C-alpha cells in the first residue's frame, strides 16, 4: 500500500491499483520490421491497436484505439474517458516532433481552490476516504485528445478507432481479481448512486466476481454516440449537461461552458540531448518533460554511468537518487520552491531555462556541495495510476502516450455519466490550481517522449506510476549508456518515488529512495545507506516504463512492457 507523505508524481495516492499493475517482469521482447504497439496494461487493448495498424492506421490511430480500450478494461478505475491525455509524436514525413497536451483544465468559477476539501494524509490509509465533493472534478481532456490526434495524424476515420472499445464494453471481458479488489475497496462510493451501482452489480444485485464476464452496456452506447457524432456529444450535448448537473448536486461549480470551451494544446516538446542522442519529452505548460530533460542533463554532468549500471553499483544508485530530485521539487513545490532555488544558485528557473545545460551545471554544483534542499553528499566510508501506450506504424511514425485518471480507484465522487467514470482529480492539487488562472490548463507531470539519433528516430517511451520520473531516467540510461534493449532495461531493478519515512520530526534530512521489494540485495542497500541515502523497499513506489526501440542497423523493432496480475501489458508487432 502507499504511505502518507510519499511523493508520487502522476497518481499521488495510488493504492489498490497496484493489484492491476504488479511488477511481474517484462513481457517477452518482440522484434519486428513493420509496426508495433506496447502498453502498460490491457493485452486485449494492445492487440486491438495492432489490428488498427494492419488496417492502415497510423501510430496515432493505434495509440488512441489502444487507450480507448484500456479504459474499458479498467472499468474507469485507474484511467477514464473523463481523464487526461498527453502525447509526443514523431511525424516521419516531415521529420518533426510534436507535443499534444490534453490534460485537465480547472473550472473557471473555481476562484478559491485552496478551500476545496482534500485528503488527510496524516490519517494513513484511511486518509484516502473523503466525502464526495463536486469541486474536486476537473474539466477532462482525454476524448478531445483522441479526436485531435486523429485529425492531425490519423489515417483512419475517427469512428473506426472506437470499434475495439465498443466491442470490449458490449461483449465484455473476464473480470479479474484486481478488478474485484478495487471494487471492494470503493464499494461504498460506487454504491452511492443507482446508475453507478448498476455498472458493478449483476441483475440480482450482487457484485461481479473474478471470472465473470463483465459488460458495460451504458458505456457501449456512449462510445457509439461519440464515435458517430464526435466529441461535441460529450463537450456540448446531453452528456455535458448531465455531468454538470450531477457534479453540481455535490457542490461543484463546473458549467457546460467549461466543457464547450476546452481546446487541446499543441506546443513545442521539451528538448535536450544526452550522450549524442536527442531527447524530446512532453513540453510546457506541463512539468514532467521539463523535469526529465533536466534530470538527464544532471546524469550526464554527474557521469552516473561511469560507476556502472545503477542495478549493480551502489554509487550509481546513490547519485541517480540525488539527481532525480530537482525536477520533482519544482513540480511539487511550485513557484515558491522554484524561486528559492533560483535565488540559491543564481539562475532564472523557467521552463525554458531549466532544460539548458548551463542551468543544470549550476544545479549540479549545488547537489555536489550538499546545498540543494533534500539531497545528500556521500558520507565518509561509502552512494497509478494511469496507462501508457507506444506505437510505431509502417511509415515510421511514432506515438508515445500517457492517459490517466490521476486519482485512486475511481476517486470519491461515485459519479458515472452514461457509463463514464468521473474522477476527483482536484482533491490533492489545490496548491497547483491556486498558482494558475481559473479555467486554464493544469500542469501535469507525465513523461512520454522520443529519442532521435543523427536525426533519425531511435526509440519511443512512456511511463506511469508513483516513480515514473525515476523509472524513466533509469530506462533511458539503461538503453542509451549500456546498450540494453527495452526488454532488458525493463527487467532491471525498479526505482520508485521518494518516501518521507526517514525524515526527522523537524522535517530535516533526505527522503528515502523507494525501490522494488527484493530488487536489491541487503548488502547493496546497506552500502547506499552508509553513504547517507535511506532506502525504502516498497512495491507501491515503483514506476513502470515501456518503450519501442528501432535497431539502427537492421531496422527491427524491439519492444517491451510489463505484465500485470489482472490486465497485463505486452509488446505486439506484426
Rounded distance between C-alpha atoms, residue 496 and residue 487, angstroms: 18
What span, in angstroms and rounded, lies between the C-alpha atoms of 385 and 10?
Answer: 7
pLDDT at 23 over 50: no
Query: pLDDT tens digits for 369-382?
Result: 777 766 777 654 33
C-alpha cell, 99? 507535443
Q: For the segment 528-568, what is each residue's pLDDT rounded down to a tens digit?
A: 999 888 888 877 667 788 999 998 888 899 998 875 434 66
Do residues 511 and 7 touch, judged by C-beta distance below 8 A?
A: yes
- Could you tell me if 16 and 408 are in contact, meaning their C-beta atoms sit under 8 angstroms apart? yes
Distance CA(401)–CA(147), nearest Å, equals 14
pLDDT greater at residue 452 or residue 21: 452
pTM over 0.85: yes
Torsion-angle region of 67 (φ positive above 0: left; ψ -120 to 50: alpha; else: beta): alpha
Instruction: Return the minimum-mean-pLDDT range out of 260-274, 319-333, 514-528.
Output: 319-333
Q: What is the pLDDT of residues 313-349, one digit of tens each?
A: 999 998 888 888 755 455 445 566 667 777 777 777 7
* Centroid of chain to Cα 122: 25
Which phi and psi (to 5°) does residue 164 adopt? -65, -40
Task: Examine the pLDDT at 209 and tell me if it is beyond 90.
Answer: yes
Banded model confidence at residue 244, pLDDT cuts 50, 70, 90 = very high
**Calpha distance 37→59 (Å, rounded):** 8
Instruction: Report yes or no: 241 and 233 within 8 Å, Cβ to Cβ.
Output: no
Residue 285: is the preceding peptide bond cis (ω within 30°)?
A: yes
Give CA–CA dist 328/333, Å, rounded.
Answer: 8
Residue (of 536, 376, 522, 529) closest to 466 by Cα position = 536
Phi, psi of 202 (to 5 degrees): -85, 180
**Three-state secondary-structure class, residue 294:** helix
**pLDDT for position 361:** 80
Three cell numbers, residue 327: 525536477
Domains of the chain are 35-266+389-443 (no CATH), 270-385+452-566 (1.10.246.130)
Q: Quote the mean pLDDT of the chain.
A: 84
- Report the alpha-carbon distance of residue 356 to residue 367 in Å, rounded: 17
Q: Which has the minimum average pLDDT: 15-19, 69-73, 75-79, 540-544?
A: 15-19
- What residues are paired with 498 via a beta bridge? 7, 513
What span, in angstroms and rounded, lies between the C-alpha atoms of 365 and 388? Answer: 34
Q: H/E/C letters for each residue in 129-190?
A: CCCCCHHHCCECCHHHHHHHHHHHHCCCCHHHHHHHHHHHHHHCEECCHHHHHHHHHHHHHH
**382 contacts 315 by C-beta, under 8 angstroms:** no
Amino acid at each position: 500500500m502507499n504511505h502518507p507523505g510519499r511523493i508520487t508524481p502522476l497518481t499521488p495516492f495510488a493504492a489498490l491499483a497496484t493489484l492491476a499493475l504488479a511488477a511481474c517482469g517484462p513481457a517477452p521482447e518482440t522484434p519486428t520490421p513493420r509496426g508495433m504497439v506496447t502498453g502498460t496494461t490491457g493485452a486485449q487493448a494492445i492487440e486491438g491497436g495492432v489490428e488498427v495498424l494492419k488496417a492502415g492506421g497510423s501510430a496515432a490511430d493505434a495509440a488512441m484505439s489502444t487507450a480507448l480500450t484500456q479504459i474499458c478494461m479498467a472499468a474507469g478505475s485507474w484511467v477514464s474517458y473523463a481523464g487526461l491525455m498527453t502525447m509526443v509524436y514523431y511525424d516521419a514525413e516531415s521529420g518533426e516532433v510534436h507535443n499534444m497536451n490534453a490534460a485537465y483544465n480547472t473550472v473557471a468559477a473555481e476562484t478559491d481552490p485552496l478551500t476545496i476539501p482534500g485528503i488527510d494524509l496524516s490519517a494513513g490509509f484511511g486518509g484516502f476516504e473523503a466525502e464526495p465533493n463536486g469541486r474536486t472534478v476537473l474539466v477532462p481532456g482525454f476524448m478531445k485528445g483522441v479526436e485531435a490526434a486523429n485529425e492531425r495524424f490519423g489515417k483512419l476515420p475517427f469512428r473506426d478507432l472506437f470499434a475495439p472499445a465498443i466491442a470490449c464494453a458490449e461483449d465484455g471481458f473476464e473480470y479479474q481479481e484486481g478488478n474485484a479488489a478495487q471494487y471492494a475497496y470503493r464499494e461504498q462510493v460506487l454504491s452511492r448512486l443507482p446508475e453507478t451501482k448498476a455498472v458493478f452489480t449483476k441483475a440480482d444485485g450482487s457484485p461481479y466476481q473474478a471470472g465473470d464476464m463483465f459488460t458495460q452496456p451504458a458505456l457501449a452506447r456512449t462510445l457509439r454516440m461519440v464515435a458517430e457524432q464526435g466529441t461535441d456529444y460529450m463537450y456540448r450535448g446531453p452528456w455535458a449537461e448531465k455531468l454538470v448537473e450531477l457534479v453540481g448536486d455535490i457542490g461543484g461549480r463546473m458549467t457546460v461552458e467549461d466543457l464547450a470551451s476546452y481546446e487541446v494544446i499543441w506546443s513545442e516538446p521539451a528538448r535536450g540531448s544526452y550522450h549524442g542522442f536527442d531527447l524530446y519529452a512532453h513540453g510546457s505548460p506541463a512539468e514532467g518533460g521539463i523535469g526529465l530533460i533536466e534530470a538527464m542533463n544532471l546524469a550526464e554532468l554527474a557521469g552516473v554511468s561511469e560507476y556502472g549500471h545503477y542495478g549493480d553499483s551502489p554509487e550509481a544508485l546513490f547519485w541517480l537518487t540525488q539527481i532525480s530530485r530537482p525536477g520533482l521539487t519544482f513540480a511539487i513545490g511550485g513557484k515558491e520552491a522554484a524561486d528559492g532555488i533560483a535565488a540559491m544558485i543564481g539562475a532564472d528557473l523557467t521552463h525554458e531555462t531549466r532544460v539548458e545545460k548551463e542551468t543544470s551545471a549550476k544545479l549540479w554544483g549545488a547537489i555536489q556541495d550538499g546545498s540543494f534542499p533534500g539531497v545528500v553528499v556521500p558520507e565518509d566510508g561509502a552512494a497509478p495510476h494511469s496507462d501508457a501506450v507506444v506505437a510505431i506504424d509502417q511509415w515510421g511514425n511514432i506515438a508515445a502516450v500517457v492517459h490517466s485518471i490521476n486519482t485512486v480507484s475511481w476517486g470519491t465522487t461515485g459519479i458515472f455519466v452514461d457509463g463514464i467514470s468521473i474522477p476527483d482529480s482536484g482533491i490533492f492539487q489545490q496548491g497547483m490550481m491556486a498558482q494558475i488562472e481559473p479555467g486554464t490548463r493544469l500542469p501535469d507531470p507525465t513523461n512520454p517522449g522520443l529519442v532521435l539519433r543523427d536525426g533519425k528516430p531511435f526509440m519511443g517511451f512512456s511511463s506511469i506510476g508513483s516513480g515514473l520520473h525515476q523509472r524513466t531516467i533509469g530506462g533511458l540510461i539503461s538503453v542509451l549508456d549500456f546498450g540494453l534493449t527495452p526488454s532488458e532495461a525493463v527487467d532491471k531493478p525498479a526505482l520508485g518515488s521518494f518516501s518521507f519515512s526517514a525524515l526527522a520530526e523537524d522535517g530535516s534530512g533526505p527522503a528515502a529512495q523507494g525501490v522494488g521489494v527484493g530488487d536489491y540485495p541487503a548488502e547493496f542497500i546497506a552500502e547506499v545507506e552508509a553513504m547517507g541515502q535511506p532506502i525504502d523497499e516498497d512495491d507501491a513506489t515503483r514506476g513502470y516504463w515501456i518503450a519501442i526501440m528501432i535497431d539502427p542497423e537492421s531496422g527491427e523493432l524491439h519492444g517491451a512492457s510489463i505484465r500485470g496480475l489482472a490486465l497485463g501489458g505486452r509488446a505486439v508487432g506484426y
